[in-house]
Amino acid sequence: MSNAILESGAAMADRAPRHGVEELSMQQALNLALDEVLAENPKTLVFGEDCGRLGGVFRITDGLQAKYGTGRVFDTPLAESGILGMSAGLAMAGFHPIPEVQFDGFAYPAINQIVCQIARMNYRSRGTMPMPVTLRVPSFGGIRAPEHHGESLEALFAHVPGLKVVSPSNPHEAYHLLKYAATRPDPVIFMEPKSRYWQKGEVTFDSADPAGSAAGGPPTGAKVMREGRHVTLIAWGAMVARCLQVAGLAAEDGIDVEVLDLRWLKPIDAAALAASVRKTRRAVVVHEAPLTSGLGAEVAQLITQSCFDTLKAPVERITGFDVPYPSGDLEDEYIPNIDRILFGIQRVLEYRRG
């Protein structure tokens, strides 16, 4: 395999930096990011179930095998444990694997490889064996898929020492966050909101914003998507767009809502949380995962720890329910909707002590 990988370097062409703004779907933005990462680093490999010839079930890897060859972009058997076990071995051999688990519910068979090998190898080797594995996981719900095709596993992954977890909310974030994650020496779980794959948005390539951060520089923290004064909505992935919808509706009633895209779920940007909530003095966390032990509890704890003296109300959580992630049309009842989020805002605005 190594000869084929190195020979495929001939397929790489010099790239001029992209400038300006393009309107892309998230699928196109992710495809472009992978294309550029493959071109920039001959040690990068992209693989997974149907990722080669088909280009992935969501076409995220479309055209990449034809461009870079079967040695660098290839299909794997339907065996997630094998995909992640191979990823660990390739990383140990000096490659930067970018595997894909086809749906988040398919990640469970690979938990041993993710938790016991990929997450721990750098610790086990006393820092001599980094694990530059960027695991792409089409995640969350919103497409009314069958069982096991929609999950919210961020709390599970975030609980594992050694893993970093990130989830983009729009095409701009998807492009810049994936390019950044793919250069890290640490394992990154890249949770892609599959319901947003086909939503288009502007992607900025200007050097003034090289990595998708509002202030420039690496996209390593949370990002304020809308400024507000009365309450902060905190979300990630597909729920950011929904919170922006809610903020627009709330503004019609004179409620000024700030929307904070967490982006990185591990590590969490505690400073950005504190800055936003100290300004608005109220917070509502929104996520698709079940309520109990969801990541919203960790976010609420961080807010309470840093903003206890300024909070006007307890932190509210609007989440999925404590049931297995439902299939088909039942998703509509499970995923936080506009009315539930508006109700959460109402609760924190109307809260009175005593």
Q: Tell me the CATH number at 43.
A: 3.40.50.970
Strand partners, 212: none
Q: How many Cα atoms are found within 13 Å in the side-chain-facing hemisphere of 31?
A: 21
* N-to-C CA span, the chain: 68
Provide the pLDDT for residue 1. 44
Claim to verify: residue 100 and residue 16 sit in the same structural domain: yes
What's the rounded Cα separation, in Å, for the pair 142 and 318?
Answer: 16
> Is-cis flag, bond preceding 17, omega within 30?
no
Which residue among 152, 171, 204 closes a domain?
A: 204
What pLDDT is stored for residue 17 in this prediction? 60
**24 shares a domain with 63:** yes
Same domain, yes or no, for 199 and 228? no
What's residue 80's pLDDT?
Answer: 96
Q: How far apart are CA 348 and CA 169, in angstroms?
A: 25
Q: Which residues of the chain have pLDDT under 70?
A: 1-17, 206-217, 354
Question: Is residue 66 helix, strand or coil?
Answer: helix
Quick one: 265 and 198 in the same domain?
no
* In a domain? residue 336: yes
Domain hosting residue 337, numbered range = 223-350
Give me the residues paired with residue 188 across strands: 134, 164
Last residue of a domain, one of 172, 204, 236: 204
Contact 65, 35 (CB under 8 A): no
Rg of the chain over all Cα atoms, to the nearest angstrom: 20
Order across the sheet with 73-75: list the strands. Answer: 73-75, 44-48, 96-100, 134-139, 188-193, 164-166, 264-266
Among left, alpha and beta (phi > 0; psi -120 to 50; other), residue 328 is left
pTM: 0.92
Separation of alpha carbons 174 and 47, rounded Å: 19
Same domain membership, residue 35 and residue 153: yes
Residue 68 included in any domain: yes
**CA gap 234, 192 in Å, rounded:** 18
Q: Are 348 and 317 in contact (CB under 8 A)?
A: no
Does residue 243 share a domain with residue 125?
no
Q: Which residues contact 131 (CB under 8 A, 6 or more apart)?
A: 88, 91, 92, 118, 119, 121, 122, 162, 185, 186, 187
- Would you state the structure tokens that stand for residue 70, as one six-digit string? 């079967």
The pLDDT value recorded for residue 2 is 42
Q: Can you say how many angstroms the Cα of residue 146 is from the centroid of all Cα atoms in its chain?
A: 22
154 and 30, same structural domain? yes
For residues 121 and 88, give the distance between their C-alpha atoms in angstroms, rounded to a whole number.
Answer: 9
Residues 89, 92, 93, 97, CA torsion sign: positive
Whether residue 210 lies inside any domain: the answer is no
> What is the 8-class DSSP label of residue 118?
I
Residue numbers annotated as active site: 149
Same-domain status, 146 and 250: no
Which pLDDT belongs to residue 19?
Answer: 75
CB count within 10 Å of CB 354 equals 2
Residue-wise DSSP of 144-160: ---TTS----HHHHHTS
Give the pLDDT confidence score for residue 220 in this predicted structure. 86
Is residue 168 located within the same domain as residue 90?
Answer: yes
Which residue in 270, 332, 25 sits closest to 168, CA to CA? 25
Confirm whether 249 is domain-assigned.
yes
Same domain flag for 195 and 227: no
* Same structural domain, 171 and 310: no
Q: What residue type is assigned to position 40 of the chain?
A: E
